[in-house]
């Protein structure tokens, strides 16, 4: 692109006509503002602008100011997994009202134009979300790097209703052998997702930790949700001789045939994923979204 001005990229979920229409209105708004715009290739023809197409994996921060993701949290997760892992541009999430909780999204169809005015004027903050790196060792000398996660890494049994037995080590130290249905390793971002549903704690994004959450552990195994420092490295091994496991990263990437004695290692990545926030500070943005979208609201005092 040489010395050309950076562009703004737009992507959208494909299974929602309303989201596609909103993406088209956002495109028109930005072009009227004099901004250069790229569209993810899979939507550019739907918006009638095939010449503006660019693949997500080409959108580095030296080309793109920021990416607008139209859709819910699933759309943001998809964008994360397809953007470059380094030099990743920040993402502004814009959700359709009523379609999902959209906890990661900053705006919606009613706020988007005011939001974009603020962003174009530099009135925003960047929330840096931790990422988890996952490695699979199938032999003593192998170390296969898998996809990174911004929510969680989940290990479950390959056979429904079959209880796993696993060994967990942290920084090389034995933690527990446990019977359970599954195990979650979660970032603070993922603490409001599957980890929360499984009984884990909600973790503020300003802290850099990794949370371990067992799913339906056998009561006497002693394994409970635990929060570990960011420099912790986990090693998980399946112990039941004839029961394989399945590894699921952010609910999107599925790795089947995790065999007994294979080792799964998880640690915090050196990279982060950047989300655009429009409050005066990151904590204010987080707790506002937490009150609005996650925590139950009961008027007090009760009558």
pLDDT at 113 over 90: yes
Contact 87, 61 (CB under 8 A): yes
pLDDT band at 218 (very low <50, low <70, confident <90, very high): confident
pLDDT band at 229 (very low <50, low <70, confident <90, very high): very high
Contact 151, 250 (CB under 8 A): yes
How large is the angle between the packed helices 17-32 and 112-120, nearest 10 degrees?
40
Lowest mean pLDDT among 48-57, 77-86, 90-99, 163-172: 90-99
Domains along the chain with CATH numbers: 7-123 (3.40.50.10330), 131-270 (2.60.200.30)
Question: 10 Å Cβ neighbour count for 289?
Answer: 19
Give me the catalytic one of 73, 115, 147, 250.
73
Contact 93, 76 (CB under 8 A): yes
pLDDT band at 3 (very low <50, low <70, confident <90, very high): low
pLDDT at 299 over 80: no
Q: What is the dihedral of CA 113, 115, 120, 125, to 10 degrees?
A: -170
Per-residue pLDDT at 303: 67
pLDDT at 87 over 70: yes
Q: CA-to-CA distance for 168 and 185, rounded, in angstroms?
A: 11
pLDDT at 270 over 70: yes
Model confidence over 127-160: pLDDT tens digits? 999 999 999 998 888 889 999 999 999 999 999 8
Per-residue pLDDT at 96: 77
Average of pLDDT values for 232-256? 94
pLDDT at 2 over 60: no
Please give the model's pTM, rounded to 2 decimal places.
0.90
pLDDT band at 1 (very low <50, low <70, confident <90, very high): very low
Side-chain-side CA neighbours of residue 273 (13 Å): 30
Model confidence over 35-63: pLDDT tens digits? 999 999 999 988 889 899 999 999 999 99
303/52: higher pLDDT = 52
CA nearest neighbour of 269 among 189, 202, 179, 182:
189
Model confidence over 149-192: pLDDT tens digits? 999 999 999 998 889 999 999 999 999 999 999 999 999 999 99
pLDDT at 222 over 80: no
For a pLDDT cut of 90, what percent of the chain falls above it? 75
Which phi and psi angles does 168 have, rounded to 5°?
A: -120, 125
Structure tokens at 124: 């925003």
pLDDT band at 99 (very low <50, low <70, confident <90, very high): low
Question: In the annotation, is 73 catalytic?
Answer: yes
């Amino acid at each position: 692109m040489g010395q050309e001005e950076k562009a703004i990229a737009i992507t959208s979920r494909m299974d929602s006509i309303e989201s596609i229409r909103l993406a088209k209105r956002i495109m028109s708004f930005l072009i009227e503002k004099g901004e250069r715009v790229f569209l993810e290739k899979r939507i550019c023809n739907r918006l009638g602008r095939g010449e503006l197409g660019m693949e997500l994996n080409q959108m580095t921060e030296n080309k793109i100011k920021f990416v607008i993701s139209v859709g819910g949290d699933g759309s943001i997760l998809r964008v994360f997994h397809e953007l470059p892992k380094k030099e990743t541009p920040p993402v502004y999430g814009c959700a359709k009202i009523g379609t999902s909780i959209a906890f990661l999204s900053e705006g919606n169809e009613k706020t988007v134009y005011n939001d974009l005015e603020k962003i174009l004027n530099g009135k925003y903050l960047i929330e840096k979300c931790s990422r988890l790196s996952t490695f699979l060792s199938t032999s003593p000398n192998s170390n296969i790097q898998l996809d990174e996660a911004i929510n969680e890494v989940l290990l479950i049994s390959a056979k429904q209703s079959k209880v796993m037995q696993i060994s967990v080590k942290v920084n090389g130290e034995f933690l527990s052998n446990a019977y359970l249905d599954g195990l979650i390793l979660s970032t603070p971002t993922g603490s409001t997702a599957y980890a929360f549903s499984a009984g884990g704690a909600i973790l503020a994004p300003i802290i850099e930790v990794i949370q371990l959450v067992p799913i339906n552990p056998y009561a006497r195994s002693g394994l409970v949700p635990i929060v570990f420092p960011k420099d912790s490295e986990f090693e998980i091994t399946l112990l039941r001789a004839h029961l394989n496991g399945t590894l699921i990263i952010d609910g999107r990437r599925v790795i089947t045939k995790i065999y007994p004695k294979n080792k799964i290692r998880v640690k915090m990545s050196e990279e982060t994923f950047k989300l655009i926030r429009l409050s005066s500070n990151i904590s204010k943005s987080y707790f506002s979204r937490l009150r609005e979208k996650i925590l139950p609201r009961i008027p007090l005092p009760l009558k």
